[in-house]
A and B are shown apart, each in its own frame.
Chain A
């Protein structure tokens, strides 16, 4: 009696190898990608904008729309949807400018903070009109400087008048702060 050979024939083609690899790795790959997307979406809000600026261009925008499509086609629809949501969250984060970026008010000499408590109960006209009740003021003086180039060329009389105008400004500020 001859036994029949029951061993199935193994398909050694590249196509079947790719299919087997995708089948075996699809579940762990989905889990890893979903966890990565959740971590990205969770912490992108507190990430500094400078670390995301490399995506703030045309290529980055293309990536935002391409990655969800690739994930939806290769893995499943739910992962693609999550990727689309995370992409839009990152896109929104890129459009928001950090508070510490941009113009820094360093009008005071030396850059030191010169915030003063407003102790005068009388308010300015503008404050009354706008309904503002300030409790502190960051800068209560205007610093002016004469143009040095002109001062070197012209006579000392003009320079003296320039200094006089500066002193008038400072007198005005000191008197206005004591209103």
Chain B
């Protein structure tokens, strides 16, 4: 990981990185890491689709290519969701 990847290329890029990082952080705190909060029924129903699972993994890779912080948060969110779905 290079340090340039952490630096936003513009103000809009930095704002988007900040918004998505904090959104995923909140998602992980209130949804992914909380066992009492069930996932939305749409996400549970979509788990059967291989396309949906591929999109999740592709999103993790693209998020990590874009910004390491977004990649780390999306990897945590995606991993929690997939592990919970497998365990069910």
Are A88 and B61 in touch, CB under 8 angstroms? no
Q: Given A77-B68, A78-B64, A93-B86, do A85 and B78 touch, yes or no (CB 8 Å)?
A: yes
Q: How far is B87's CA from A150's CA once the two chains are assembled, in angstroms?
A: 48
Are B86 and A89 in touch, CB under 8 angstroms? yes
Cβ of A38 < 8 Å from any Cβ of B?
yes
Are B86 and A81 in touch, CB under 8 angstroms? no
Which residues of chain A have C-beta atoms less than 8 A from B65's C-beta?
76, 78
Q: How far is B75's CA from A23's CA once the two chains are assembled, in angstroms?
A: 27
Q: At the interface, is chain A mostly helix, strand, loop or mixed?
A: helix
Q: How far is B9's CA from A137's CA once the two chains are assembled, in angstroms?
A: 66
- Chain A interface size, as a band, is 20 to 34
Are B57 and A81 in touch, CB under 8 angstroms? no
The listed residue with most B CB atoms (<10 A of its CB), out of A37, A79, A82, A86, is: A82
Contacting B64 at CB < 8 Å: which of A39, A82, A86, A93?
A82
Are A82 and B79 in touch, CB under 8 angstroms? no
Which residues of chain A have C-beta atoms less than 8 A from B10's C-beta?
none
* Chain B 55-77 interface 0/1 with A at a Cβ cutoff of 8 Å (1 = within): 00110110011001001100100
- Chain B interface size, as a band, is 20 to 34
Within 8 A of A (CB), among B37-52: 50
Q: How far is B53's CA from A89's CA once the two chains are assembled, in angstroms?
A: 12
Smallest CB separation, A89 vs chain B (Å): 5
Q: Given A45-B86, A89-B83, do A37 and B75 touch, yes or no (CB 8 Å)?
A: no
Q: Given A96-B86, A96-B87, do A78 and B71 touch, yes or no (CB 8 Å)?
A: yes
Cβ of A69 < 8 Å from any Cβ of B?
no
- A residues contacting B by CB (< 8 A) are 34, 37-39, 41-43, 45, 76-79, 81-82, 84-86, 88-89, 92-93, 96
